[in-house]
């Protein structure tokens, strides 16, 4: 049989029409070049900034050295003060950040024991750093100062040895750690010998050496937490474990206390040392300007370069460039500092010897005596030679002409630098994830500006490295991703986009012979209203799939053949497709397709007579099926068998945390890369409940062009601002990834399943279901994010009417949800750590601007009229209000189609007006030779912001040209569309795709009487259909098994099941109680399967084997339908009540809405009448900033509104820049870790008959064997799931 299927039926018909399946949207070559440039830039910046930081700090120490002459002796306190500023700068930044979090987010107080221990170590560290840098290092030579900072890892090397020994496993880096400790001690010995043996009787030198050794040892306590964590994990002490947990939970308050302590200790050491050294603080206020400028430049470079070096070092780690852009540049920075400071000294010394022409044999000591000591203290010339001589002065204490001193100095420098390399050698093999969280990269948020490279290297998280652990490393627990798409009346071209995208993902992450174990997936398509009633029948027993549903089956067959290329012989059939399954279900039907690489697509055909239809109820359907049935039921079965409930609860929380739902529309086109980038966000950040991508509208025509720029601006500026300063308020349902734990949280999934009972529910719940779902998640404390690198494409309305109807749904729903959030500001700001009251104030201003948009547009039009025509501002305002006021009144009386026609005509008129105004503004700027008027400044600044923003999105720069159309359509979008959506708020129909009749549907009236011959023909047709269906059923029951068994899709029950028998999948319709009696009396019981047989004969290229549901799953569907998804009864009285309530709600909201706009207009009109006394006059200047003698008047209200709008745009622009940097980091890290090329599949992977393990079962089993994920510093493990007895679905 299979051999016959390989033979082509039409050998002359070998040409195919193949759609584009490759990724043509992403410029991979440009991205690879961008990646290379980014890595090079980051590496150079980390190296350069570390070099600047260390060099400037050592110059400050050199200037505070006694005997240096760039800064006179009496002015040394200024240099010491700058050293103190370098020490506390990072503490000040950490204090401000921690106070911000304490004010706007929850912060827990630590235990007394934890506080005492942390503050004790912080006291030692801050004391050691202050003593080392302020007291000791100004008395040491420059080479020792450069290298002694490499010796601050003495305790780190020792604790590495202890941590690795307590781990009780064979460690790879035990020997390097021991060697590093020995080298550090050797360096200290050489240092002591070098200085003490020079003059053993000099007590001052002995004091400075002792303080230097003691201070560097105390500084080495800085990174004790890095090893304490591992020691506590390997220890049996409960106290140590509890102490470590308390430090993690209360980290924010500990940071506040430790920062204050560091600042205090540093200030005390500095304040005490200056008087003890017989220096006067009063001199600080009377430093000459030249010296002040030198010190200011040095300290400014030090502070800025230290902060930037820390930031770029973190970015390098997140970009997965740990070796290239982090470790190597920091290693080389220490050597480069040495070279930068010593080479000029050698060059100046050699120049001096050459200038003597060999007349004298001058050694280094003589050079110091005659040049360094004898120079005049004058800064009339260049500063650089003086700094070089000051650096030389620090070396004059030693006799550099003696090989002994040179050998000791070189020996301690080499020993300390090698110890730094060996103590951080484990970093070369450290496993770093993509976009690793900062708290998981570095044990402390604090960096040390005095020794930036040492603090960054030692602060990086230390892990026990062994050969076994390196091999067994796993990035994260394997995730289970359910792709959930909803369909209704999508066209053939729209549906093929999403099917190709799903097959792409199947090829990218195959289930057969997988190369990666990061996630597995299933695709589920929920097809609304998939059945048409056949003449003379009722319900599903007389139903057939409509044209859209059959088109989907044809598309699956076509795309399957495209992605299947088994036999390379020319005259062999290229589209051999294994047998697939078709199942009758209580809600309609199900088609199960196993894709070429083993993953499955499940198409759920919904019959609206059996189950509630529309998009939200399809989402409720898959939420309860995938999360309630497939996720929870198997654990309930294990609990019934007597397994420990505590263990089961932990496993449930883990699986809920690692189960994701990718919400899709029926026409979404995406690449596997886009899915991976969203998965990264949810895997890395445990409190992220949802993440959305960049949605690109597709299509052609002016309406689509307008939407392309509108979508671009909303994503470029609005969504990035929400992501950075708060949370994204709406994760669109066309392409968003949701975490199961967030959906199953209290008051989310259960509340989302609520039936609309009030008029406001129809607007908030049903008109924008994705925004309402996000609102519920935000209220529960979950974070919603935006990933700009995750691109998805969806069809946009190409018709003016369809666009208006779509926005008619979105506008009121958006307003209702935002008002709901604003009303819960206090509760949300306490519960959600990402939302502050300042962010809610930002949203308040945004919604106020949206509400006042019609009045604002009227003012814009009025200004345009007064600008073009010689009329007064008040008269222009009246003229601008009349057309929208008339349109508002007509909208209450006319039908929606007529309203849209009028809006279209007015939109064209307003577009011409906007064109004239735009050209007039440009003309006035040219004529008056000035751009410094309020309108000109506003227009130019907005244009510059949009252009710069587009440049920051090079792939989308061409969308700027659509901005010209957007400007022309501003009155239509913000005035007419707002009026239309508000007036038609009571219309709760979907608005899009409704004009397309369901193809193949039976006519509404089929009352034409049949002739006797027609009745006989119909009876025989039903009889033969019954015979055909029953023949297939008996043939299957007699021994032919489906290719893929039912257990591959549905989890098996806990006990063995009997042989499945043919089951009646018809469920009774509550609206037709007589249907049950009709079923019992009918002599044709098998024709219920006729739609199955029709589908089986639809194509010769795909063979559908009929299967049945398990008894448990069939019972689940019936229970779900009864509780949540029962078709709504056709209650005429209730419909009238709801219609009346919607109209009353519409009237109430419209009254408040347009009253606010009227008040805004009246206030502006009043101010314009009294413009001479209440307006603000701004002088008008030309391009040379010369006053032209004219004034521009602005009323105060308009000025404040423009100022507020400008502030919000600036905020959005700055957050966009911040977000773009992190998007680049994420994308570079992805490119560096995710291979794009997939190896070609073998022929066997496509052959039918291979049993494939169920995705859900394999995922749940793998969870038991995986290592637990590291806890989040910000969000502890307890937040992964609720432990308060919350609702379990």
Q: What backbone torsions phi and psi does residue 961 show, to the nearest 5 degrees? A: -70, -25
**Nearest-10 crossing angle of helices 837-851, 800-823:** 140
Please choose, from the candidates 734, 725, 697, 727, the residue with its C-alpha nearest in 3D space to the C-alpha of residue 712: 697
In angstroms, how far apart are the furthest CA atoms of the chain? Answer: 135
What pLDDT sits at residue 578? 79
The span from the CA of 258 to the CA of 265, in Å, is 10
* Residue 621 reports pLDDT greater than 90: yes
Q: What backbone torsions phi and psi does residue 1083 show, to the nearest 5 degrees? A: -90, -5
Interval 74-97: pLDDT, tens: 888 888 999 999 999 999 999 988
The span from the CA of 511 to the CA of 609, in Å, is 36
What pLDDT sits at residue 906? 93
3-state SS class at 793: strand
Strands 688-698 and 735-739: antiparallel
What pLDDT sits at residue 1194? 65
The span from the CA of 743 to the CA of 751, in Å, is 10
pLDDT level of residue 381 (50, 70, 90 thresholds): low
Please choose, from the candidates 683, 682, 696, 712, the residue with its C-alpha nearest in 3D space to the C-alpha of residue 785: 682
Q: What is the DSSP string of 183-219?
A: HHHHHHHHHHHHHHTT-TT-HHHHHHHHHHHHHHHHH
Order of strands, edge to edge, in the sheet holding 688-698?
669-670, 783-795, 688-698, 735-739, 659-665, 479-487, 519-527, 600-606, 588-594, 580-585, 1104-1107
pLDDT level of residue 392 (50, 70, 90 thresholds): confident
What's the chain's length in residues?
1289
The tokens for 1081 are 């009396």
Q: What is the rounded average pLDDT of the residues 411-426?
A: 90
Interval 984-1030: pLDDT, tens: 988 888 766 654 444 334 444 444 444 444 444 444 444 444 444 44
What pLDDT sits at residue 30? 77
> Are 658 and 480 a contacting pair, CB within 8 Å?
yes
The span from the CA of 387 to the CA of 63, in Å, is 8
* Residue 765 reports pLDDT greater than 90: no
The span from the CA of 930 to the CA of 1053, in Å, is 79
CB < 8 Å & 24+ apart, contacts of 158-163: 159/224, 159/226, 159/227, 159/228, 159/231, 160/227, 160/423, 160/426, 160/462, 162/227, 162/231, 163/227, 163/230, 163/231, 163/234, 163/462, 163/464
Interval 26-55: pLDDT, tens: 666 777 888 888 899 999 999 999 999 999
- On the 0-12 / 13-18 / 19+ scale of CB atoms within 10 A, 887 is buried
Q: DSSP alpha helices (H): ranges in 956-1011?
A: 962-968, 970-971, 977-983
- For residue 556, what are the CA distances in angstroms to 6, 522, 549, 562, 1049? 19, 15, 11, 10, 18
Interval 340-353: pLDDT, tens: 988 888 888 888 87
Q: What backbone torsions phi and psi does residue 1193 show, to the nearest 5 degrees? A: -100, 135
DSSP 8-state symbol, 324: I
Q: What is the rounded average pLDDT of the residues 381-410?
A: 81
Please choose, from the candidates 593, 396, 610, 383, the residue with its C-alpha nearest in 3D space to the C-alpha of residue 499: 593
What pLDDT sits at residue 1096? 78
- For residue 61, what are the CA distances in angstroms to 151, 305, 389, 834, 916? 18, 17, 14, 42, 66
What pLDDT sits at residue 1032? 41
CB < 8 Å & 24+ apart, contacts of 714-717: 715/786, 715/788, 716/949, 716/950, 716/952, 716/953, 716/1216, 717/949, 717/1209, 717/1212, 717/1213, 717/1215, 717/1216
Q: What is the mean pLDDT of the chain?
A: 79
What pLDDT sits at residue 684? 86
The tokens for 25 are 């949207």
What pLDDT sits at residue 820? 92
The span from the CA of 295 to the CA of 287, in Å, is 10
The span from the CA of 1082 to the CA of 1144, in Å, is 48
* Residue 790 reports pLDDT greater than 50: yes
The tokens for 663 are 């919400």
> Are 324 and 43 a contacting pair, CB within 8 Å?
yes
If one counts every other C-beta atom within 10 angstroms of the C-beta of residue 434, the result is 23
* Matching residue, tokens 């009229």: 865
Please choose, from the candidates 180, 235, 265, 242, the residue with its C-alpha nearest in 3D space to the C-alpha of residue 458: 180
* Residue 1048 reports pLDDT greater than 50: no
Range with the poorest average pLDDT among 174-178, 215-219, 998-1002, 1040-1044: 1040-1044
What pLDDT sits at residue 1190? 65
In the chain the first and final C-alpha atoms are separated, in Å, by 46
The span from the CA of 517 to the CA of 505, in Å, is 14
Q: DSSP alpha helices (H): ranges in 1084-1131?
A: 1090-1096, 1111-1123
Q: What is the DSSP string of 360-371?
A: S---HHHHIIII
* Residue 525 reports pLDDT greater than 90: yes
pLDDT level of residue 10 (50, 70, 90 thresholds): low
Q: DSSP alpha helices (H): ranges in 319-382?
A: 322, 328-355, 364-367
* Residue 1052 reports pLDDT greater than 70: no
Q: What is the rounded average pLDDT of the residues 880-892?
A: 92
Out of 263-272, 864-873, 1094-1103, the most confident range is 263-272
The helix, strand and coil proportions of the chain, stated in percent and rounded to the nearest 5, come to 65, 10, 30
Q: What is the rounded average pLDDT of the residues 1102-1110?
A: 85
The span from the CA of 549 to the CA of 554, in Å, is 9
- For residue 244, what are the CA distances in angstroms to 117, 229, 236, 685, 996? 11, 6, 13, 21, 63
Percent share of the chain, pLDDT over 90: 31
- For residue 115, what are the CA distances in angstroms to 252, 261, 1006? 12, 12, 82
Partnered with residue 46 across adjacent β-strands are: none
Count CA atoms within 13 Å of residue 121 on its CB side: 15
Count CA atoms within 13 Å of residue 348 on its CB side: 20
- For residue 829, what are the CA distances in angstroms to 106, 250, 834, 1204? 10, 19, 8, 23
Buried b (16+ CB within 10 A) or exposed e, 1210-1233: eebbebbeebbebbbbbbbbbbee
pTM, 2 dp = 0.82
The span from the CA of 517 to the CA of 683, in Å, is 14
pLDDT level of residue 372 (50, 70, 90 thresholds): confident
Residue 1129 falls in which region: left (phi positive, over 0), alpha (psi -120 to 50) or beta: beta
> Are 313 and 456 a contacting pair, CB within 8 Å?
yes
* Matching residue, tokens 């209450």: 892
If one counts every other C-beta atom within 10 angstroms of the C-beta of residue 236, the result is 6
What pLDDT sits at residue 1117? 92
> Are 604 and 524 a contacting pair, CB within 8 Å?
yes
- For residue 315, what are the CA distances in angstroms to 435, 680, 1222? 9, 16, 8
pLDDT level of residue 933 (50, 70, 90 thresholds): low
* Residue 136 reports pLDDT greater than 60: yes
The span from the CA of 482 to the CA of 664, in Å, is 10
What pLDDT sits at residue 11? 65
């Amino acid at each position: 049989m299979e051999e016959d299927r390989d033979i082509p039926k039409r050998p002359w018909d070998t040409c195919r029409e193949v759609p584009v399946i490759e990724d043509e949207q992403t410029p991979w070559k440009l991205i690879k070049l961008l990646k290379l440039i980014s890595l090079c830039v980051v590496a150079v910046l980390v190296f350069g900034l570390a070099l600047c930081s260390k060099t400037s700090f050592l110059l400050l120490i050199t200037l505070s050295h006694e005997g240096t002459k760039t800064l006179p002796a009496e002015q040394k306190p200024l240099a010491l003060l700058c050293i103190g500023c370098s020490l506390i700068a990072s503490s000040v930044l950490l204090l401000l950040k921690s106070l911000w979090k304490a004010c706007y987010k929850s912060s827990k107080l630590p235990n007394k024991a934890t506080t005492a221990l942390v503050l004790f170590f912080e006291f030692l560290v801050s004391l050691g750093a202050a003593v080392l840098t302020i007291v000791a290092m100004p008395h040491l030579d420059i080479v020792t100062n450069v290298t002694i900072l490499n010796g601050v890892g003495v305790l780190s090397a020792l604790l590495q040895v202890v941590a690795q020994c307590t781990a009780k496993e064979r460690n790879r880096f035990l020997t390097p750690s021991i060697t590093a400790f020995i080298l550090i001690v050797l360096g200290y010995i050489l240092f002591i010998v070098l200085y003490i043996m020079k003059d053993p009787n000099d007590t001052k030198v002995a004091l400075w050496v002792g303080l230097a050794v003691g201070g560097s040892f105390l500084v080495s306590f800085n990174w004790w937490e890095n090893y304490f964590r591992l020691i506590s994990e390997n220890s049996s002490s409960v106290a140590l474990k509890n102490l470590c947990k308390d430090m993690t939970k209360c980290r924010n308050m500990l940071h506040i206390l430790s920062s204050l302590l560091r600042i205090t200790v540093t200030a005390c050491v500095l304040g005490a040392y200056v008087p003890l050294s017989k220096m006067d603080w009063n001199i600080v206020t009377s430093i000459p300007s030249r010296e002040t400028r030198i010190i200011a430049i040095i300290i400014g470079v030090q502070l800025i370069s230290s902060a930037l070096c820390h930031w770029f070092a973190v970015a390098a780690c997140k970009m997965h460039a740990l070796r290239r852009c982090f470790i190597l540049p920091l290693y080389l920075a220490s050597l480069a500092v040495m070279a930068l400071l010593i080479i000029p000294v050698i060059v100046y010394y050699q120049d001096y010897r050459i200038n003597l022409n060999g007349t004298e044999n001058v050694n280094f000591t003589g050079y110091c005596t005659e040049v360094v000591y004898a120079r005049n203290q004058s800064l009339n010339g260049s500063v650089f030679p003086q700094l070089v001589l000051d650096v030389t002065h620090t070396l004059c204490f030693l006799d550099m002409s003696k090989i002994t001193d040179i050998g000791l100095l070189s020996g301690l420098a080499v020993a300390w630098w090698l110890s730094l390399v060996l103590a951080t050698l484990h970093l070369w093999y450290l496993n770093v994830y993509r976009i690793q969280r900062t708290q998981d990269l570095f044990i402390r948020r604090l960096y040390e500006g005095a020794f930036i490279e040492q603090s960054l290297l030692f602060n990086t998280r230390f892990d026990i490295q062994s050969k076994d652990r390196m091999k067994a490393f796993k990035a994260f627990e394997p995730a289970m991703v359910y792709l959930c798409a909803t369909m209704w009346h999508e066209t053939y071209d729209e549906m093929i986009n999403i099917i190709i995208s799903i097959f792409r993902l199947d090829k990218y992450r195959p289930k057969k012979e997988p190369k990666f174990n990061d996630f597995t997936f299933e695709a589920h398509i929920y097809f609304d209203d998939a059945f048409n009633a056949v003449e003379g029948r009722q319900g599903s027993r007389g139903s057939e799939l409509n044209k859209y549903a059959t088109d989907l089956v044809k598309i699956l067959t076509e795309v399957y053949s495209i992605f299947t290329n088994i036999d390379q012989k020319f005259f062999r059939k290229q589209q051999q497709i294994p047998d697939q399954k078709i199942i009758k279900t209580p809600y309609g039907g199900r088609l199960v397709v196993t894709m070429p690489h083993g993953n499955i697509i499940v198409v759920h055909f919904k019959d609206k007579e059996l189950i509630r239809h529309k998009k939200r109820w399809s989402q409720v359907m898959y939420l309860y099926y995938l999360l309630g049935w497939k996720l929870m039921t198997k654990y309930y079965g294990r609990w019934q068998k007597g397994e420990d409930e505590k263990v089961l609860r932990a496993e449930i929380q883990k699986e809920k945390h690692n189960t994701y739902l990718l919400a899709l529309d029926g026409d979404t086109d995406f690449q596997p890369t886009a899915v991976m980038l969203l998965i990264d966000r949810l895997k890395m950040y445990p409190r992220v409940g949802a993440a959305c991508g960049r949605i690109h509208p597709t299509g052609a025509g002016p309406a689509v062009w307008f939407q392309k720029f509108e979508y671009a601006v909303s994503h470029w500026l609005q969504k990035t601002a929400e992501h950075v300063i708060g949370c994204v308020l709406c994760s669109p349902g066309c392409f968003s990834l949701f975490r199961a734990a967030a959906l199953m949280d209290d008051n989310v999934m259960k509340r989302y399943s609520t039936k609309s009972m009030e008029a406001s529910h129809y607007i908030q719940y049903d008109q924008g279901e994705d925004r309402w779902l996000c609102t519920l998640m935000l209220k529960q404390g979950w974070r919603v994010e935006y990933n700009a690198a995750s691109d998805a494409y969806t069809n946009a309305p190409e018709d003016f009417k369809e666009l208006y109807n779509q926005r008619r749904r979105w506008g009121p729903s958006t307003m209702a949800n935002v008002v709901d959030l604003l009303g819960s500001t206090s509760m949300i700001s306490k519960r959600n750590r990402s939302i502050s009251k300042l962010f809610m104030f930002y949203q308040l201003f945004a919604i106020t601007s949206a509400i006042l948009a019609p009045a604002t547009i009227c003012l814009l039009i009025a200004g345009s009229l007064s600008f073009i025509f010689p009329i007064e501002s008040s008269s222009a305002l009246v003229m601008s209000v009349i057309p929208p006021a008339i349109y508002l009144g007509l909208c209450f009386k006319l039908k929606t189609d007529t309203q849209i026609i009028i809006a279209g005509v007015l939109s064209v008129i307003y577009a011409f007006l906007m064109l004239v105004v735009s050209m007039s503004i440009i003309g006035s700027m040219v004529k008056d030779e000035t751009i410094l008027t309020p309108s000109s400044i506003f227009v130019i600044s907005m244009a510059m912001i949009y252009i710069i923003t587009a440049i920051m999105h090079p792939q989308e720069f061409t969308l700027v040209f659509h901005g010209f159309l957007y400007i022309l359509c501003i009155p239509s979008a913000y005035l007419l569309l707002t009026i239309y959506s508000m007036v038609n708020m009571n219309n709760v129909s979907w608005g899009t795709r409704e004009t397309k009749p369901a193809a193949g549907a039976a006519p509404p009236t089929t009352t034409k009487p049949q002739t006797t011959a027609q009745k006989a023909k119909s009876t025989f047709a039903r009889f033969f259909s019954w015979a055909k269906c029953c023949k297939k059923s008996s043939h299957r029951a007699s021994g032919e098994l489906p290719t893929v068994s039912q257990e591959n899709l549905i989890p098996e029950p806990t006990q063995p099941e009997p042989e499945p028998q043919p089951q009646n999948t018809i469920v009774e319709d509550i609206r037709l109680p007589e249907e049950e009696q009709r079923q019992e009396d009918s002599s044709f019981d098998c024709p219920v399967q006729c739609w199955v047989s029709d589908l089986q004969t639809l194509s010769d290229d795909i063979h559908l084997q009929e299967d049945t549901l398990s008894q448990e799953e069939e019972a689940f569907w019936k229970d779900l339908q009864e509780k949540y998804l029962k078709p709504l009864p056709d209650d005429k009285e209730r419909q009238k009540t709801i219609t009346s309530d919607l109209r009353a709600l519409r009237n109430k909201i419209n009254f408040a809405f347009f009253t606010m706009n009227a008040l805004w207009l009246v206030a502006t009109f009043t101010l314009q009448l009294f413009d001479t006394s209440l307006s603000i006059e701004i002088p008008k200047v030309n391009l040379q900033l010369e006053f032209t003698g004219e004034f521009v008047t602005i009323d105060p209200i308009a000025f404040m509104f423009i100022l507020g709008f400008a502030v919000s745009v600036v905020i959005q622009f700055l957050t966009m820049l911040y977000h773009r940097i992190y998007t680049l980091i994420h994308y570079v890290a992805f490119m560096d870790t995710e291979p794009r090329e997939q190896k070609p599949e073998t022929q066997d992977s496509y052959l039918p008959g291979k049993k494939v393990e169920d995705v859900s079962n394999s995922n749940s089993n793998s969870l038991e064997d995986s290592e637990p994920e590291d806890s989040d510093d910000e969000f502890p493990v307890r937040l992964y799931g609720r432990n308060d007895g919350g609702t379990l679905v």
